[in-house]
Amino acid sequence: MIRTRLFTAALMTSALSLGACSTTNNYNGLPSGVSEAQSAPVAEVPAKAKNVILFIGDGMGISTITAARIYEGQKRGETGEENLLSFEKFENVALVKTYNVDAQVPDSAGTATAMHSGQKTNIGLLGVGPDTERGKCATGLANQLPLLGEEAKAKGLALGIVSTARITHATPASVYARSADRNWEADAAIPEEERGKGCKDIAKQLIEADWDVALGGGLGAFYGESADDTGRRLDADANLPADWAARTGGTFVRSAGALNEAPMDKPVLGIFSPSHMTYMAERLDGKGEGEPTLTDMTVQALARLKSDPNGYYLMVESGRIDHGHHAGRAGWALEETVEFARAIQYAIDNTDPEETLIMVTADHSHVFTIAGYPRRGNDILGLVVAPESGGEEVANAAKALDGKPYTTLGYANGPGSIANMAERPVPETGINAQQQSTIPTGGETHAGEDVALYATGPGSDEARGVLEQNKIYDIIRKAFGWE
Q: Which amino acid, 413? A: N
Rounded to whole angstroms, the Cα distance separating 112 from 99 reads: 11
Candidates 17, 32, 86, 108; catalytic one: 108
425, amino acid identity: P
Residue 347 neighbours by CB under 8 Å, 6+ apart: 53, 55, 298, 302, 316, 358
Cα 461 from Cα 158, distance rounded (Å): 24
Alpha carbon distance, N-terminus to C-terminus of the chain: 19
Residue 93 dihedral angles phi and psi, to the nearest 5°: -140, 140
Residue 231 CA to residue 242 CA, distance in Å, equals 14
Q: What's the distance, CA 328 to chain centroid?
A: 20
The half-sphere exposure of 444 on its side-chain side, counting CA atoms within 13 A, is 30
At residue 109, what is the residue type?
A
Q: At 381, is the secondary structure helix, strand, or coil?
A: coil
Please say if 63 is a catalytic residue.
no
Among 147, 103, 150, which Cα is nearest to 124's?
103
User: Considering only CA atoms, which of 172, 166, 183 is closest in space to residue 147?
Assistant: 172
Name the DSSP letter for residue 467. E
Annotated catalytic sites, by residue? 108
